[in-house]
Structure 1
């Protein structure tokens, strides 16, 4: 992922427009990663058919095991450290009473460095929103699910390599 030129927004230039809608994310690691990916796509307006199936977290149970792995690897590819400071911003103050809140980029009234676009999979994606989040949001919707799935996939790989001689 490469970044384009950066723009610096200052407090007096704009007003906040909160575009947050409460999400009901199933208590499942794949669903949580799909929600995470949905948040990424919402911020950068990346809504192509090729990724839509992997961001519809309400339908997580309809994915095959292979598609579950694709969600996992897609989340690893779009990991938070590539997005923090560009479209994701840790901020308890902006998150207020929720774990995360979305704001329209043109209307953020906090001093932030915002990247106007990102290159993802060779495509230039415009950043239209940011996500202000509390650390618990990142832990519950990315870090913990990724760690549990990594362990699961590591165990499965070891089991398939095992050889039983009797």
Structure 2
């Protein structure tokens, strides 16, 4: 009994340290902090755009930002929940739509904003559900992954198209 009372303060300190670690490891990013990173710093300018097409794990094609574009493509978020994109796909347009951010295990941004583009359909919702890869004071990176199935006899091939948008101030 005498040795236990000598070790009791050490046991209490270790238990408190463990409890503090457990509480802090479960802390998620504050939603208002994420929103302020997007809205407080104003205009986000597109610095890089990379589109990669993969068949299973084999990279088939890379496309990058159109460097011949004479316009500065930019994204702006306001605290009221509206986002604005200027010159999407280097086309003369200003598009707007609502935006929300979900701060779960994977941070995602959603916007139903419709943009004119150069596809057959002529319009798309490029930011319908994008992963936020990086969000800081000076940089913002979104990633959109579209997966479908190609049937190539006798195997099935998964095709993925990964679009990564990089923005800076």
TM-score by length of 2: 0.25
Larger Rg: 2
More helix by share: 1
More strand by share: 2
